[in-house]
Structure 1
Amino acid sequence: MPERHLEIEQKYDAGADFVLPDLGGLPGAESAADPEVVELHASYFDTPDLRLAAHGITLRRRRGGADAGWHLKMPAGPDSRQELRAPLGRPRVVPARLAGLVAAYTRGAPLDPVATLETRRTVVRLYGADGAMLAEVADDQVTGRDARGSADGQAQRWREIEVELGDGPADLLKAAGKRLRKAGARRAKSSSKLGRLLGDAIVPSEAARARAVCKGRLVAAIDNGKGPATTGDAVMAYLAAQVEAVVRFDPKARLAEDDAVHRMRVAVRRIRSALKAYRPVLDEERTEPLEPELKWLAAVLGEVRDCEVLRMRFKDRLDGASPNWLDDLAHQERTAYRRLNASLKEPRYFALLDELDRLVAEPPLAEAAARKARKELPELVTRSWNRMGRAYASIAIAEDAEVARHETRKAAKRARYAAELAMPVLGVAAKRVAKDAKRIQEVLGGYQDGVIAMEFLKAAAARTRNPAEAFDLGVLYGWERCAAETARDRLSVTWSQTLGPAF
């Protein structure tokens, strides 16, 4: 597992005559160390069309300084990036683990050197009263060269100041920036040295441009009064956001970050639900082939998620205890993660991502897509709600009530996501429908989670030879059975409290 580091920093452009101001008196800072000079040599890697840079991602191999090695930086929020590190290794061979983390962007394209940077860095570190390193201010003299085959290799030179937060408070970063600007520095136009060097060569992908267009059309139609939003505008804006979420959570899921698999899976489910609930808006010839592939990906993610849910559920029940049988669950979760990571390397997965990009870049809109959203969406949301209602009614008469409950839960998810899609257009009315459908989904989800937990505990009890452990498993089984039955019995009350669509 690569070493991780959350980098919070701000960059400033500075002229050749810029003088670094006195940094004393910044919030929490008691002292500043003497300046330290280091020479840094970095090679940046990307695909030939600079896919990583287009998404604000940098991958480099750097020599010099205390953190020499491979560095992968991915956006994590305003002024922050998640940095993952690996040892220096071989100069032109990207560590497999880091290459895997950006595979959703590269999709099999080679990672080659695209730029080299040589930096003479003068570092001043700020310390608090307790000796903690609060921030690091780096004055960088940079020489950069475009290393792509078609580039002329002409050197570019510039100076920039970086302020990276350590253990200091957020207002230290703000105060340092204010002092630097007062001394003549300017907030940098680019968030990375690579971005500054390659400039206009870094362009958003066709899919990224299409996502921005989808969102822009809907916002313009609703917020800026530039005409009524069409149903196609609403559907494509929603699909574009979910496709973006799948790719964004891909590296987080590979790293087993908290809730990442769940959120990636939800994005996949939302795409599936939208394609089903809004069939009249989309060309089925284009969308139907996506269904088995999305179902496959959801299942791979679901295997991990089921283990995560059980682990969290038992952790709450056990109140800190860690019995031996829990090791079996930990092993299952590790195995599921291995299968997930293997699946996310398959050409099948990359082909699905390509088709999802194409879905957004070349919207497969049917005739209904041109109709006014405010008129068409209520009917489509109501149709999903009614489908859920029929599924719920079938529970009482079904030969297999378990299957009927499962189908009702799936229908509740579809109704919820159909209403969520319509919320930007229909507002509060759609929000209420989504909320009601979510309540039904969660009650049935609580029941299903209890059933799955019971099955695991029953299997664990059958394997154990320890009477005390068997007794504890029996107690847990009883708890889970009570929880499942309570959720099941709450369903009718929850249903009676829903109002249904009222558009």
Structure 2
Amino acid sequence: MATETELKLQPARTRDLPRLLAHPRLAGVAPERLRLDACYFDTPELDLLRARMAVRERREGARRVWTVKTAGEALGGLSRRGEWEGAARRGGYDFAALLGDDAPELSAWLRARQAALQPVFRTRFTRLRWTVEALGARIEVALDRGQILCVTPEGTRREPLLELELERLAGPEDALFALALELNEAMPLWPLSASKAERGYALFLQTRDAAVAAAPRPTQPISSEVDRRMAPRTAPKSDPNRPARDAFVPLAQAALDTLVPPLRTAALTPERGDAAAVEAVHQSRVALRRLRALLAAFAPALPGDWAARERSHWRALAQALGRVRDLDVLRSEIGPQLMQAVPGSSASRWSAALAHEQARAWRRLQAELQQPATTAQVLQFARALHGLSAAGNGSAAHGRGPTLRALARQRLRHRQRRLRRALAAVLDTRAREAERVHALRIEVKKLRYATEALIDALPPKAARAAQRRLEVLISAQSVLGRWHDWQLAAAWQGEVARRPTGADSALRAALQAELTRQRRRVRRACTALEAVT
């Protein structure tokens, strides 16, 4: 058995490929050109999919190759998988010969299902392949362009295929990230966690592994209320008694895997008004909040200022996403309510100015997301996680620092104290109300995301109490988020109304009336928070 270690990347745009091919690492080496046609097999019950493995037959010119791949570990587009490969024999697959003595149980499992295997989907693509000797390593670089195809009774479904794979042939794994960052200077390269097999199965099942798989229809609201569907991508549960530093890497990787697809969608969606773009910005913002909250929660268990430094790297992107998302909500939800309450030129002028600012903010965000600097930031964070994981695997590092359970107790107590102080400030006086409610909203979010990240490490009784508190936090975040939306609407009205008129007075009155209603909801949410903190 061979262990395949590769970093999979998705070039942002086909039109930018000439810049990639002209990169000095590739331009001086003549690539090998291959035409590859592969068929993936499974049982009618999709046993291989459930077992997280793939069996394929690939044609490489006149040569036919059978391959078995098993699921491995993935980290920021870097994957390690078990792989068995051999020339196809007459009469079909021979798993006993292919797997040999390496995996007798796997061989028996596959042979028991051999008669039921049938084609599920195909991949057809052209591969340009280079071997690069650099950075203390030997790396195979493969650029694949083509299609994934699935034949159904309704017709053939197709999905474009554009991938750049960096496979380590010899040398350190970190060289894959180093080379990726060099190539990223030519064009943006997004880490890609889904394999061709995973994408093929997604097509077969008529699903998409993308940020907007559960995007609401245009008739559904896109409010700033918490979207419960945006739970972080599942990470393996950790032993609460293991070092917290070791537990951090898979959690952070799951958060990064949740962030990249919607961020990539936001970067590449051509139309701002598209529902996919709106939802992608929302999901990117929530995923980034979770990632930054995770960095804050685990900071005491991580080396030096590692967490603070990495957290600061995401601040500008978080602000840009927040600006666009706030304007989306103002225009799509708050605006229609105001237009209904105050028909006339004032609300129309408010809405038109808002639409103009929304378009400007979107252009700025998309320009930022389309820069190689953004994908470099993602790759650098994935590389930092890989380095942290490698350092944690050393025997000297193992066992240092707090356990995951100790950290969970410490950090959740810390966040609860912060929340209680913010809550007391809101309940104490109406002075500086907007500022204090905003501070409370931030603390609610931080405790909510820290609880979601750490609840599994708590003892059963503490975990049940945390779960009850979590439900209140989610509800309070929704209420405080809506208060924030109306505060922004009032601030925006002040920017637009340079010359007060009767109509502007009516608009201000409508805004104040709604803020009064929202204030009552905030007070009820504060009472609920008092009961659980």
Instruction: State the TM-score, normalized to the length of structure 1.
Output: 0.56
Deviation at 1:310, TM superposition (A): 0.5
Query: Equivalent residues in 2 for 1:460-499 (5 A)?
Result: 460-462=496-498, 471=503, 473-498=504-529
Q: Aligned to 1:148, what secondary structure does the other structure show?
A: strand
Q: Aligned to 2:150, what secondary structure does the other structure show?
A: strand
Distance 1:218 1:430, change over 3 A: farther
Matched, 1:433 2:469: yes
Deviation at 1:432, TM superposition (A): 2.6
Paired with 2:518 and 2:234, the residues of 1 have a C-alpha distance of 42
Q: Which residue of 1 aligns with 2:407?
A: 376
Q: Which residue of 1 aligns with 2:128?
A: 147
Does the 8 A contact of 1:461 with 1:474 survive in 2? Answer: no
Q: Which residue of 2 aligns with 1:451?
A: 487
Moved over 6 A (4+): 107-114, 138-144, 191-195, 197-209, 364-369, 499-502
Does the 8 A contact of 1:249 with 1:263 survive in 2? Answer: yes
Over residues 433-461 of structure 1, what are the superposed CA-to-partner deviations in whole Å (9 max), with x where a residue is unaligned? 33222333333222221111012223333
Does the 8 A contact of 1:447 with 1:487 survive in 2? Answer: yes
Query: Equivalent residues in 2 for 1:318-397 (5 A)?
Result: 318=339, 323-346=348-371, 348-363=373-388, 371-395=402-426, 396=428
Does the 8 A contact of 1:381 with 1:415 survive in 2? Answer: yes
Match of 1:283 among 303, 318, 326: 303
Deviation at 1:297, TM superposition (A): 1.1
Deviation at 1:411, TM superposition (A): 1.3
Percent identical residues: 22
Does the 8 A contact of 1:231 with 1:368 survive in 2? Answer: no
Deviation at 1:194, TM superposition (A): 8.1
Matched, 1:162 2:150: yes
Paired with 1:416 and 1:99, the residues of 2 have a C-alpha distance of 46
What amino acid is the match of 2:266?
A
Paired with 2:161 and 2:451, the residues of 1 have a C-alpha distance of 43
Deviation at 1:118, TM superposition (A): 8.8
Query: Equivalent residues in 2 for 1:169-318 (5 A)?
Result: 218-219=236-237, 221=239, 228-254=241-267, 255=269, 256=272, 257-312=277-332, 313-318=334-339
Of stretches 491-500 and 265-274 in structure 1, the one that deviates more from structure 2 is 491-500
Deviation at 1:264, TM superposition (A): 0.9
Deviation at 1:298, TM superposition (A): 0.8
Distance 1:113 1:319, change over 3 A: farther
Match of 2:432 among 392, 397, 400: 400
Deviation at 1:399, TM superposition (A): 6.0
Paired with 2:18 and 2:325, the residues of 1 have a C-alpha distance of 24
Does the 8 A contact of 1:218 with 1:229 survive in 2? Answer: no
Instruction: State the TM-score, normalized to the length of structure 2.
Output: 0.53
What amino acid is the match of 2:248?
V
Does the 8 A contact of 2:242 with 2:404 survive in 1? Answer: yes
Does the 8 A contact of 2:299 with 2:308 survive in 1? Answer: no
Paired with 2:490 and 2:238, the residues of 1 have a C-alpha distance of 51
Q: Which residue of 2 aligns with 1:38?
A: none
Q: Aligned to 1:283, what secondary structure does the other structure show?
A: coil
Deviation at 1:415, TM superposition (A): 0.8
What amino acid is the match of 2:320?
V
What amino acid is the match of 1:95?
R
Paired with 1:309 and 1:163, the residues of 2 have a C-alpha distance of 41
Paired with 1:484 and 1:442, the residues of 2 have a C-alpha distance of 15
Distance 1:480 1:165, change over 3 A: farther
Aligned length: 351
Paired with 1:139 and 1:273, the residues of 2 have a C-alpha distance of 41
RMSD between aligned alpha carbons? 4.9
Does the 8 A contact of 1:231 with 1:372 survive in 2? Answer: yes
Paired with 1:265 and 1:193, the residues of 2 have a C-alpha distance of 27
Q: Gaps (5+ residues) in structure 2?
A: 38-118, 133-139, 141-147, 178-190, 194-232
Paired with 1:342 and 1:380, the residues of 2 have a C-alpha distance of 37
